[in-house]
A = this chain, B = another copy of it.
Amino acid sequence: MLGHIARRLGRMQHVSVGLKGVSLQQLLSKETHRHPQSSLETHRSISTVSLWPFSSQPRDFSQPNSSWSPEMRKVYDHYNALSFPDTENGEEKKGPWRKLPSYNRSIKYATGGIHLSKLIQAKARLFTRNVKEQGATFEYVVFVNKEEKRCVCVFQAGHLLEGAPGHVHGGAIATMIDTVTGTLAGFLSGPIMTANLSIDYRSPMPLDSVVLIHSSLDRIERRKTYITCKVTSTDESKLYTEATALFVSIGVGHLFGSRN
């Protein structure tokens, strides 16, 4: 849960906000986020407000690196060739896909829970990007298709994700499913939090596998966004995992601490 709050607050996917306490109210009013346009439009309109406190160009961890296998790189290149640039106004559109960036932490303005010390807050890192060694844990990149209301994640599972010998831990797969379905739900519905994940494990996934995580919108009912998900081999011939996910929209007031 809560891995996917405030997806559209800025181009930086990680720029989410404190759940309790003061946090971003000094920077952005509630009305700024209550944008009447579509999620994607809102996504862009706020992107001009840079909240990254260290640099205007934080590192995007979903760029190719030397740990990527040829299979990982091939699938990435395929979707990247069908993507339009992540620019302010989206000119030079090449295809229906859009690559989303991925960072390794939330903004330093986040206040977190009452039990959270300043020290821990400063050291906090996103769970899926918390190991520096490239290729050791989660290597992934998410492409979203706005028209079709779905996304696909290319995921390479590193050797530190072990469950049974030589195979990926169920919790690591759950983590990626939460991440990818939450990314799509947030992209379509704005600020959300995970309410339910139901995961069927169909087949063991060897370490070092490259898989596709397909997520599609099932339906939106008021505050509830339902997402379906399948994890397959890159040629889609083998099914590893199936899942459904339910996300609940949260008001920006919730994010800024007006409710617990």
Contacts and interface: CB of A to CB of B under 8 A. Distances in A.
Interface of A: 1-5, 16-20, 23, 105-107, 110-117, 120-121, 123-128, 130-131, 136-137, 159-179, 182, 193-201, 204-209, 241
Nearest to A116: B166
A256 to B, nearest CB: 11
Indicate how many identical chains form the complex. 2
A18 to B, nearest CB: 6
A172 B207 CA distance: 19
A229 to B, nearest CB: 13
B178 A175 contact: no
Among all A-B residue pairs, the 9 with the closest Cβ atoms: A112-B166, A113-B206, A171-B175, A110-B165, A3-B163, A2-B164, A1-B201, A106-B165, A127-B169
17 contacts: A1-B164, A2-B163, A2-B164, A2-B168, A2-B170, A3-B163, A17-B165, A107-B165, A115-B207, A117-B208, A121-B166, A121-B207, A123-B160, A130-B131, A170-B182, A171-B175, A195-B201
A234 B3 CA distance: 23
